[in-house]
Amino acid sequence: MTDTTISQATYDALVAELHELTTTGRIEIAKAIESARALGDLSENGDYHAAKDAQGKMEARVRQLQSLLENAVVVTDEGADVDSVRPGLVVALRYEDDDEVSEYFLGSIEERLAGVEVVSPTSPLGQALIGAAAGDLVEYQAPGGRLKVEVVAIRRA
């Protein structure tokens, strides 16, 4: 897995979520499975199958969080200039031949900024944007062909 750039606040929230899932979450799922087992025949027991399904989803999230946190790079740019695009910042873009400006957060989907789409720094667009300054025109290869975008503005999240 590649490194994931996240803020300190997001890192702390993910650590707390992992702790919650591996303690309280596992206990609650175990109780639900035990209660469903007590109802009898497991082959026809919807509660049992639902609890096992929830357990599988929770354990998948635990593995995802463990991997993400193991490969996390925490961005701390307090006081740093916002003169070029880097992970952890919001960039306003205008696509060539379009008047509309759209904002994107360059970082992990785990950041979940309201109203701002996330672009991974490892995506073709993300790679093209890193290091660009406001006013720069960058080009990248999209599935539908080469696209050009203008960096309109850069700001902190």
Q: What is the CATH number of the domain that holds 18?
A: 1.10.287.180
Domain total for the chain?
A: 2
On whether the CB atoms of residues 132 and 152 are closer than 8 A, the answer is no
One domain for residues 95 and 70:
no
The verdict on residue 47 lying in a domain is yes
More reliable by pLDDT, 10 or 157? 10
On whether the CB atoms of residues 154 and 89 are closer than 8 A, the answer is yes
pLDDT for 80 equals 63
User: How many CB atoms lie under 10 A from the CB of residue 43?
Assistant: 7
On whether the CB atoms of residues 121 and 5 are closer than 8 A, the answer is yes
pLDDT for 92 equals 96
**H helix or E strand, kind and range, residue 68:** helix 46-70
| Range 145-151 average pLDDT | 95
- 110, two tokens: 């785990």
Q: Which domain holds residue 152?
A: 89-156
Is the pLDDT at 149 greater than 90? The verdict is yes
pLDDT for 9 equals 82
The verdict on residue 80 lying in a domain is no
The verdict on residue 131 lying in a domain is yes
In a 3-state reduction of DSSP, which class is residue 75? strand
Give me the residue label for tokens 């027991």.
45
Q: d(Cα 95, Cα 150) in Å, to the nearest integer?
A: 6
